[in-house]
Amino acid sequence: MSTAYRPYSLSPRAYTLWLFGLVGVIVGVVAVVILLTRVLVAANSINDKATHIRQLGGSINESTAAVLELTKTNAVASAILQDAQPLSGQLNTTLGTAQSISGLATSINNSAGSIDGVAGQILGTAQAIDKDAVSIDASGATIDNLVKSVNDKLNTVLSLANGIHNDTVAIRGTAVSIQHNAKTIDCRVAVVPASGPSACVEGS
């Protein structure tokens, strides 16, 4: 009975153990490579979404310029309401100014709706990041610090979105008030030549 040649003249038992050990090492290396690949893919996904959030933040900065214009509009509207009480020969000028304010209030209301839509988009993106953070956390303890950083940024984004939503509600309320005041001025201009009590509804 002949015996097959084995390297280093290992016994059959030692050769078998050596072979299983080599296979185990290869499997371990493959598993580590797969795990690292998943971590890198998840990290790249988070980086892409963070870049998207920064872009949305720039869009919000541009939209909030309308909020600054709203403050100026409120001041102009208050001055017009005070000057409209003793109207005599300047009714035509006041009527034109009131119509201009009404159009500007409508434009601001549309801008407020756009801001509200951007805030909703930020909320959706933040929720998607939160789901990805939970999935990455299951990949291993090596990325726990990264997940905590993502969650902190998520809380900041959610707070900013809620603040923008509240400002949007206030902007809409102010725009409606300005439109109502403009209609009151229009009504006063129309009823000044007539005698008797005014039927115009006072602005709030």
**How wide is the angle at C-alpha 149 spanned by C-alphas 143 and 152, nearest 5°?**
145
pLDDT at 6 over 60: no
pLDDT: which is higher, 113 or 38:
38
Region 32-37: mean pLDDT is 95
Task: Say if pTM beats, i.e. exceeds, 0.85.
Answer: no
Q: What local confidence, expressed as pLDDT, does residue 112 receive?
A: 66
Q: How confident is the model at residue 23 (pLDDT cuts 50, 70, 90)?
A: very high
Q: Which two tokens stand for residue 77?
A: 């509207």
Q: Model confidence over 97-150: pLDDT tens digits?
A: 667 777 776 877 777 677 778 778 888 887 887 777 667 666 656 667 776 887
List Cα–Cα distances, 135 to 15, 17, 34, 45, 108, in angstroms. 42, 38, 16, 12, 41
